[in-house]
Amino acid sequence: MALFFFIVLLCTSDHSQGADCKEGQHCSECNTDGDCLQGCDKGFFGMKCRSQCNIKCRYNTCKLDPGTGAGKCTAGCVPGYQGTSCDRPCDSHVVNCTLCPSGCDEGYCQLADACFAGCRDSMYGSGCKTCPSTCRTCNRMTGICDECDTTHYGVNCEKSCENCAGSCEADCECVPGFYGDFCAETCSKTCRPKSALTCLPAVTSDSCTGECDKHNATCLHGCVDGWFGPWCSSQCNPRCRHQRCNAAGSCVEGCVLHYFGSACEPCPENCTKQTCDQTTGACVKDCYVSEEGSLPNCTQACSPALQQLVTRVSYSSII
């Protein structure tokens, strides 16, 4: 008795599922408009599953292509045919359609190795070549980059932003030694590093690389010895002691021996060994006597021998 009631229930259920499919639909259940609620039976497609797949579809399977309204073969074509609906014969000089490159979207070809249905992501062209490695995605027809990876930018992602501390997708900060919107420009080699006191000649870390402003390239921590100016592009006076000068170019540690003043001019020639006070230029050792016989402006007394010579010259001039 239980088996009888189960059979009756099953028959009633089957009848109710297809109750609204009264227009020749090839599906198991329809709504009140007659559209199939589940998938179509094998070999059919469309909202009402009444359109038949092309018999050239492999495994007789297809689905509705919303763009064309035709049945799009979902498993490719039987040998000898091509196209999304498998309605076009292959080239006459080949028996079967050739397998497409792995980048073809549908796995079958239009003519020879030209993809009929277009390429998959990261592929482009008739043969579905690989997009440039710097692209995240590219145009499937031309191969021009639509979107760059995180380390490149430019019309075709040909420029690198590897010197960004972050990615190209944001206003990145530059690693030491570079500047510009994408950190592609190099700071002046004469910019002083931030940690100059701890940098030895053999040290090449970022902390020992000169830094400059990202937008105008001015040096952030001053200049290395021997240079001055906002971009450290002007050379200090070579007569500055230790090649040190300030932002205006004036020597900050005075001049080397034999020179004096803010411009490090040569000491007077009548100074012995041309040694003079580096501030005033006055001779600081024994002095030569000029041809006119006058004594130069020395800050120390002349030696006895030179004093006798000066006396004789002065006496002769009186006679």
- Evaluate if residue 292 carries a pLDDT over 50: no
Q: What local confidence, expressed as pLDDT, does residue 7 receive? A: 41
Question: Tell me: the pLDDT tens digits for 231-247?
Answer: 999 999 999 998 889 88
Buried b (16+ CB within 10 A) or exposed e, 29-51: ebeeeebbeeebeebbbbebbbb
Q: Which of 126-130, 260-264, 275-279 has the lowest mean pLDDT?
A: 126-130
- Evaluate if residue 101 carries a pLDDT over 60: no
Give CA–CA dist 79/185, Å, rounded: 57
Question: Tell me: the pLDDT tens digits for 128-178?
Answer: 788 888 888 888 888 899 888 888 888 888 888 888 887 776 678 888 899
First to last CA, the chain: 165
Give CA–CA dist 99/93, Å, rounded: 15
Asked if 100 and 118 touch (Cβ cutoff 8 Å), the reply is: no
Q: Which pair of tokens denotes residue 25?
A: 């639909």
Q: Which SS3 state, helix, strand or coil, does residue 259 take?
A: strand
How high is the mean pLDDT of the chain? 75
For residue 110, give the amino acid letter. Answer: Q
Contacts of 214 (CB under 8 A, 6+ apart): 173, 174, 179, 180, 183
Contacts of 182 (CB under 8 A, 6+ apart): 153, 159, 161, 163, 164, 168, 172
Q: What local confidence, expressed as pLDDT, does residue 293 receive? A: 40
Q: What local confidence, expressed as pLDDT, does residue 178 receive? A: 92
Q: Which pair of tokens denotes residue 278?
A: 């580096």
Helices (H) and strands (E) in the chain, counts: 2, 20
Q: Which of 25-29, 39-43, 180-184 has the lowest mean pLDDT?
A: 180-184
pLDDT-based confidence at residue 100 (cuts at 50, 70, 90): low
Q: Which of 41-45, 101-105, 137-141 has the lowest mean pLDDT?
A: 101-105
In the DSSP assignment, the letter for residue 71 is E
Q: Give the other-Cβ count within 10 Å of 316's Cβ.
A: 9
pLDDT-based confidence at residue 99 (cuts at 50, 70, 90): low
Asked if 240 and 231 touch (Cβ cutoff 8 Å), the reply is: no
- Evaluate if residue 72 carries a pLDDT over 60: yes
Question: Tell me: the pLDDT tens digits for 176-191?
Answer: 899 988 888 999 999 9
Give CA–CA dist 310/303, Å, rounded: 10
Question: Tell me: the pLDDT tens digits for 195-231?
Answer: 765 565 544 555 678 999 999 999 999 999 899 999 9
Give CA–CA dist 317/52, Å, rounded: 134
Helix (H), strand (E) at residue 317: helix 304-318
Q: Which pair of tokens denotes residue 152?
A: 């490149």
* Closest CA relative to residue 119, chosen from 131, 103, 133, 134: 103
Q: Which of 20-34, 52-66, 257-271, 304-318 has the lowest mean pLDDT?
A: 304-318
- 189: exposed, middle or buried (C-beta count within 10 Å: 0-12, 13-18, 19+)? exposed
Q: What local confidence, expressed as pLDDT, does residue 91 receive? A: 55
Q: Which pair of tokens denotes residue 221?
A: 């921590």
Q: Which of 69-83, 118-132, 167-181 has the lowest mean pLDDT?
A: 118-132
User: What is the 3 state secondary structure string of 139-159?
Assistant: CCCCCCEEEECCCEECCCCCE
* Closest CA relative to residue 168, chosen from 185, 151, 180, 156: 151
Give CA–CA dist 226/235, Å, rounded: 6
The residue ranking higher by pLDDT, 108 or 141, is 141
